[in-house]
Amino acid sequence: MASATDSTSIQQQQQQQLPTIVVLISGSGSNLQALIDATQNTNQDSGSPSLKANIIGVISNRQKAYGLERAQKAGIPTETVSLKRFKDQGKSREDFDDAVATLITTKYQPDLVVLAGWMHILSPRFLAHFPRDNVMNLHPALPGQFDGAHAIDRAFEAFQQGTISETGIMVHKVIADVDRGQVILQQPVPILPSDTLSTLEDRIHLAEHDIIVRGAQAFLDELTGKQQQQ
């Protein structure tokens, strides 16, 4: 019969064998929290998606981002890299991207990088560090609609003008073209006649918490499959 110590050791070994994720954030980190919760969800019958991975680092470009506190409470190492500091030193956005990518690849070497509310468009300099195409983004719009910033606002405005009846969310691979990478998962979100911008935002954010977990797991499964074929 296994002792409690044996069980703990087995659990630690299983965690070490899991794929690893680094998450990039800029704000409150509610989607980060969904990922954290999913890594801790071992109950397959709970109805909530689980994520078979270890989040080994969280990086923010804003020092006061609440998501950093969420990560620290979960025991996840955090880093802050400020674009302003780079600009103050006369350096470029590409230099900033290079520094963030170098930090990820040298210190963490994750299987997957997830952009979860990372409010900074990444340059080809960043992506050059990830030849495996293992960078994933969450975007609150359907493929080909409302690329870039303020997607929910623009979708709601289009609804009010009568040009759309639904919007949605997607997770996709990150390429140089903003929000144009290969779609991993997508989910439509209807816009109700009674909706305000606030209620639509709330419903989209709730759906994001589900799709970012399922998308990360699907992406990891794809990456794992490719590794096994090599």
Question: Among all residues, which ones are annotated catalytic?
Answer: 139
Residue 103 burial by Cβ neighbours in a 10 Å radius (0-12, 13-18, 19+):
middle
* DSSP state letter for 104: I
Q: At what angle do helices 66-73 and 30-39 cross, to 10 degrees?
A: 10
Residues 6 or more apart in contact with residue 48 via CB below 8 angstroms: 37, 38, 41
User: Sheet harboring 166-173: ordered strands across?
Assistant: 78-80, 54-60, 20-25, 112-115, 135-139, 166-173, 183-190
For residue 133, the SS3 value is coil
How far apart CA 156 and CA 128 sit, in angstroms, is: 35
Give the Å distances, CA to CA, from 198 to 92, 98, 156, 169, 205.
35, 36, 10, 16, 11
State the DSSP H helix or E strand holding residue 197, giving kind and residue range, or none if neither: helix 197-229
